Amino acid sequence: MSLIKLIQLKSHGDDRGQLISLEGNRNIPFNIKRVYYIYETLTDVRRGFHAHKSLEQILICIYGSCSILLDDGDKKETIRLNTPNVGLYIGAMLWREMFDFSKECVLMVLASEHYKEEDYIRNYTRFLEELECASYV
């Protein structure tokens, strides 16, 4: 699954606490056009259930923990995010589901584009069909 990678974010700190700076096209591999976060998600709730046609994202669990299931149509991989100094890069055309949220989890997402509904693939069968069509191009 080459469209994912964990990015170690450099933490700067001392006895006053820690600070992590996120800069587009520096420690984030794209220009950041949108930031949002998910919080107060119940532990038995699953979110996501979609892929993006072109959007790139970095997911950072800035507090608590959660798991991310990634699926490229061939292989599935689950990543546990539980530290604010690690970001999960997710490229385009990967199905994602977020689950197993800790009670206090705050999951922040950095996106390479503004929200566009037409970039979402919300049906898994359609996702597989689009992957198959892309492999013939």
Active site residues: 50
Q: Is the dihedral of CA 58, 5, 119, 98 positive or negative?
A: negative
Look up residue 75 and give its amino acid: K
Given CA atoms 132, 28, 96, 51 in this order, what sign does their dihedral have?
negative
Spatial CB neighbours of 92, under 8 Å, sequence gap ≥ 6: 3, 51, 52, 53, 54, 55, 56
If you count them, how many residues does the chain have?
137
